C-alpha cells in the first residue's frame, strides 16, 4: 500500500511517525493531511541507504527487484522497514522543503563529484535530492547516489530513456513508450522515491504554445524530449495517453509522482501564458486521477516569473489542483542575472513559499551557464534554505520564528558563540568574524560605538550610565 492508502485506512506508518516527530506536529493531524492529498511523503520502501551503516541491509534487501521485506502486509506495525531513513513530509502546514538537483552531464560525467554534492547537500540540510544525471553510466551513478542518500531521492526517468535511445538508435524519436515505462519501473525497483513525469505536455498544449508564441519556447529538458517525440510521430504524449499504466507502477512501488511542467516559462516575458496554464489544467485533472488510484502526487511549477505574478501562480495551482503540494523551481524574478540565479531564485522562492508553495527546487549560481560545482551546490542550497525559512516565519510553521528570537537575543547580548550555533551557516559566520576581527567585544563595523552596547547602558539605567565612556 502507498502512504496515501495507509492514511485513508487510518493507519499510521513509521514514515508518518518520523515526519510528525520531525515537524513537531500531531501524527493524527498529519495522517489526515496525507489522506486528503495535501501532504505527501515520498517513500519508496526499496530505497535502502547506507547512511547508518546499512550496507548489509542493502545487500539483503535492496535494488534486486524483489519486493522489500514486509511491504504490503498491511496492519499498523507491519509496514515496510526500508525507505529513506529520514523521510520528509511535503505540503500544507509543514516546513517548506528544499530540493537539490545534482547529477553528471556529458561534459562533467564524474561520479565522485556528484557524491561530494550529496555530502554537501546533507551537511547543509537539504530535504531531498534529485539525480538528473545525463553523462556517464546513469544506472551506476543513480545507485551510488541512492545508497548515499538517507533523504528521499527523485529522478526524471525520461532523461535515461531518451539518452539510451539516442545512444543506441541515434535519436530521441526512436524511444518507444515501452522503453519509457520500462525505465520508470526499473528506477522504481532501484528505490527512487519520487519522479518527475511530464504528463501534462499534451498536443493541445503544444498547439496553445504555437498560438501564443513565446520568447523562450520550452526550457524544460524533459519537456523538450517529449515535444520532439510527439511532433515527430504526431502522437499524444505517452505519459498522458498511458497515464493509467504510469499510475499502476507508481501505486505498486509507492512512487510519489511529481507532475512536471514541461511548459514552464523560460523567460519572465513568457510567464503565466496560455500554454503554461493549459498544462496546469491538465495536471489538475491528473492529480485527481492519481488520488483515485491511491497514488501520492505533487505538482511542479515555474520557473521564470515576475515578482507580481508569483502569488497568483501559487493560488491558481492550489485551486486548480485541489490543494496538491506545489513544487516550484525558483521562481526566478529576472532573466538578467546569470551568476546570481541562486539569489534571484531566493527572492522568488521566498515569495512563492510565503504564498503557499510547499517545496522549493534550489537554483545554483551556475544556472544557465554550466553544470554546478560542489561550491555552487552549497551556495544554491543555502540560498533556498534562507528563502524557505523566511517564508516559514510568515506561514507560522512551528519553531521558525523561535529561531529568529534566539539569534536576536544572542545578538543583543553580543554572545557570538551562541549566535554561531544558531545561524544557518556557522562556517561562514566564523570565517567572516575571523577575517574582520574587532579589538572590542562588539564587531568591527562599530566597535566601541556599538548601538547594542550604548543602548543597554543608557536605556537600562534611565540615562544614569555609570560613566560617560564607551
Map the footprint of a copy of itself across residues 147-186, applying CB under 8 A.
159, 162-163, 166, 169-174
Q: CB nearer to a copy of itself: give 234 or 244.
A: 234
Is residue 1 close enough to count as binding a copy of itself by CB under 8 A? no
Rounded Cα distance, 282 and 308, in Å: 24
Nearer to a copy of itself, 280 or 386 (CB): 386
Neighbours of 414 (CB within 10 A): 16
Q: Strand pairing partners for 131?
A: 102, 155
- Can you list the positions of beta strands (E) in 224-310? 256-259, 297-301
**d(Cα 167, Cα 153) in Å, to the nearest integer?**
25
Q: Which of 268, 293, 314, 352 binds a copy of itself (CB under 8 A)?
A: 268
Tell whether the torsion through CA atoms of 215, 221, 222 and 226 is positive or negative.
positive
Q: Using the rule CB under 8 A, which residue among 76, 231, 421, 441 binds a copy of itself?
A: 231
Q: Which span (55-63, 69-77, 193-201, 336-344) binds a copy of itself, by CB under 8 A? A: 336-344
| Cell numbers given for 198 | 511530464
Per CB under 8 A, the list member of 123, 369, 421, 441 interacting with a copy of itself is 369
When the beta carbons of 209 and 321 are compared against a copy of itself, the nearer one is 209
Number of other CB atoms surrounding residue 231 within 10 Å: 12
Provide, rounded to whole angstroms, the least separation between the CB of residue 419 and a copy of itself.
7
Give yes or no for residue 213 binding a copy of itself (CB under 8 A).
Answer: no
Residue from 63, 81, 340, 398 in contact with a copy of itself (CB under 8 A): 340
Q: Between 104 and 189, whose beta carbon lies closer to a copy of itself?
A: 104
Nearer residue to a copy of itself within complex by CB, 151 or 344: 344
Using CB under 8 A, which residues numbered 272 to 331 contact a copy of itself? 306-308
Nearest residue (CB) to a copy of itself, 71 versus 364:
364
Could you give the CA distance from residue 297 to residue 262 in angstroms, rounded to a whole number? 17
Distances in whole angstroms, Cα of residue 344 to Cα of each of 102, 276, 336, 352, 362: 19, 21, 9, 13, 11
In the list 72, 221, 245, 289, the residue contacting a copy of itself (rule: CB under 8 A) is 221
C-alpha cell at 164: 539510451
For the CB of residue 139, give the shortest distance to a copy of itself in the complex, in Å: 18
Alpha carbon distance 273, 311 (integer Å): 15
Decide: is 363 part of the binding site for a copy of itself (CB under 8 A): no
Residues between 451 and 470 that touch a copy of itself (CB under 8 A): 451-452, 454-459, 462-465, 467-470
What number of residues does the chain have?
Answer: 470
Please, what is the minimum distance in Å from the beta carbon of residue 453 to a copy of itself?
8
- Using DSSP's 3-state secondary structure scheme, residue 139 falls into helix
Helix (H, G, I), strand (E, B) or coil at 303: coil
Q: Which of 75, 61, 8, 13 is nearest to 37 (CA)?
A: 8
In Å, how far from its chain's centre is CA 32? 23
Total residues contacting a copy of itself by CB under 8 A comes to: 124
Alpha helices in 154-273 (DSSP H): 157-169, 177-190, 203-212, 221-233, 238-241, 243-253
Identified binder of a copy of itself from the candidate list 244, 417, 435, 466, rule CB under 8 A? 435
Which residue is associated with the grid cell 505519459? 239
List the helix and strand counts (H, then E) for the chain: 20, 10
CB of 436 to a copy of itself, least distance (A): 3
User: Is 125 one of the binding residues for a copy of itself (CB under 8 A)?
Assistant: no
Q: Which of residues 48-77 bind a copy of itself (CB under 8 A)?
A: none
Listed ranges 52-60, 62-70, 100-108, 179-187: which one lies at the site for a copy of itself (CB under 8 A): 100-108
The only residue of 333, 357, 360, 363 in contact with a copy of itself, by rule CB under 8 A:
333
Beta bridge partner(s), residue 40? 90
Binding mask 398-427 for a copy of itself (x = CB under 8 A): ---x-xxx-xxx-xx------x--xxxx--
* 98 interacts with a copy of itself by CB under 8 A: no
Question: What's the rounded Cα separation, in Å, for the pair 2 and 293?
Answer: 10
Which residues, 6+ apart, have CB-to-CB distance to 82 below 8 Å?
Answer: 44, 45, 46, 47, 48, 57, 61, 62, 68, 69, 71, 191
Residue placing its CB nearer to a copy of itself in the complex, 67 or 136: 136
Part in contact with a copy of itself (CB under 8 A); list of ranges 22-30, 86-94, 316-324, 447-455 = 447-455
Nearest to 320 by CA among 280, 355, 375: 280
Binder to a copy of itself among 225, 327, 359, 362 (CB under 8 A)? 225
Q: Are 465 and 458 in contact (CB under 8 A)?
A: yes
Position among 14, 108, 294, 398 found at the interface with a copy of itself (CB under 8 A): 108
Query: Which positions from 243 through 262 interact with a copy of itself, judged by CB under 8 A?
Result: none
Amino acid at each position: 500500500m502507498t502512504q496515501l492508502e495507509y492514511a485513508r485506512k487510518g493507519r499510521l506508518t513509521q514514515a508518518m511517525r518520523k515526519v510528525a516527530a520531525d515537524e513537531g506536529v500531531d501524527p493524527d493531524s498529519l495522517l489526515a493531511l496525507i489522506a486528503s492529498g495535501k501532504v505527501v511523503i515520498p517513500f519508496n520502501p526499496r530505497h535502502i541507504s547506507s547512511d547508518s551503516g546499512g550496507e548489509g541491509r542493502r545487500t539483503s534487501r535492496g535494488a534486486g527487484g524483489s519486493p522489500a521485506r514486509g511491504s504490503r502486509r498491511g496492519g499498523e506495525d507491519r509496514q515496510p522497514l526500508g525507505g529513506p531513513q529520514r523521510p520528509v513530509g511535503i505540503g500544507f502546514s509543514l516546513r517548506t522543503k528544499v530540493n537539490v538537483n545534482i547529477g553528471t552531464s556529458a561534459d562533467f560525467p564524474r561520479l565522485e563529484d556528484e557524491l561530494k554534492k550529496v555530502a554537501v547537500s546533507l551537511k547543509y540540510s537539504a530535504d531531498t535530492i534529485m539525480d538528473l544525471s545525463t553523462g556517464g553510466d546513469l544506472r551506476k551513478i543513480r545507485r551510488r547516489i541512492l545508497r548515499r542518500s538517507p533523504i528521499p531521492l527523485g529522478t526524471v526517468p525520461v532523461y535515461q530513456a531518451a539518452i539510451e535511445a539516442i545512444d543506441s538508435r541515434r535519436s530521441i524519436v526512436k524511444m518507444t513508450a515501452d522503453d519509457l515505462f520500462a525505465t520508470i519501473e526499473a528506477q522504481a525497483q532501484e528505490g527512487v522515491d519520487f519522479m518527475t513525469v511530464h504528463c501534462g505536455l499534451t498536443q493541445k498544449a503544444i498547439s496553445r504554445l504555437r498560438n501564443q508564441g513565446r520568447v523562450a519556447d520550452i526550457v524544460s529538458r524533459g519537456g523538450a524530449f517529449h515535444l520532439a517525440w510527439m511532433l515527430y510521430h504526431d502522437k499524444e504524449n505517452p505519459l498522458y495517453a498511458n497515464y493509467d499504466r504510469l499510475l499502476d507502477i507508481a501505486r505498486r512501488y509507492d512512487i510519489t509522482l511529481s507532475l512536471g511542467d514541461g511548459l514552464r516559462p523560460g523567460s519572465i516575458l513568457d510567464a503565466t501564458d496560455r500554454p503554461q496554464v493549459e498544462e496546469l489544467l491538465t495536471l489538475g485533472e491528473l492529480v485527481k486521477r492519481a488520488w483515485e488510484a491511491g497514488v501520492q502526487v505533487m505538482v511542479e511549477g515555474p520557473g521564470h516569473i515576475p515578482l507580481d505574478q508569483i502569488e497568483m501562480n501559487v493560488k491558481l495551482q492550489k485551486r486548480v489542483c485541489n490543494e496538491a503540494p506545489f513544487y516550484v523551481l525558483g521562481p526566478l524574478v529576472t532573466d538578467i542575472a546569470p551568476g546570481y540565479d541562486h539569489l534571484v531564485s531566493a527572492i522568488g522562492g521566498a515569495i512563492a513559499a510565503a504564498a503557499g508553495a510547499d517545496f522549493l527546487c534550489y537554483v545554483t549560481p551556475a544556472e544557465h551557464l554550466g553544470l554546478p560545482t560542489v561550491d555552487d551546490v552549497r551556495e544554491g542550497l543555502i540560498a533556498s534554505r534562507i528563502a524557505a525559512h523566511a517564508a516559514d516565519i510568515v506561514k507560522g510553521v512551528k519553531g521558525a520564528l523561535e529561531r529568529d528570537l534566539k539569534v536576536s537575543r544572542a545578538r543583543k547580548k553580543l554572545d557570538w558563540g551562541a549566535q554561531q550555533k544558531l545561524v544557518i551557516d556557522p562556517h561562514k559566520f566564523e570565517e567572516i568574524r575571523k577575517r574582520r576581527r574587532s579589538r572590542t567585544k562588539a564587531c568591527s563595523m562599530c566597535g566601541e560605538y556599538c548601538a547594542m552596547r550604548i543602548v543597554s547602558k543608557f536605556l537600562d539605567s534611565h540615562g544614569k550610565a555609570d560613566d560617560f565612556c564607551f
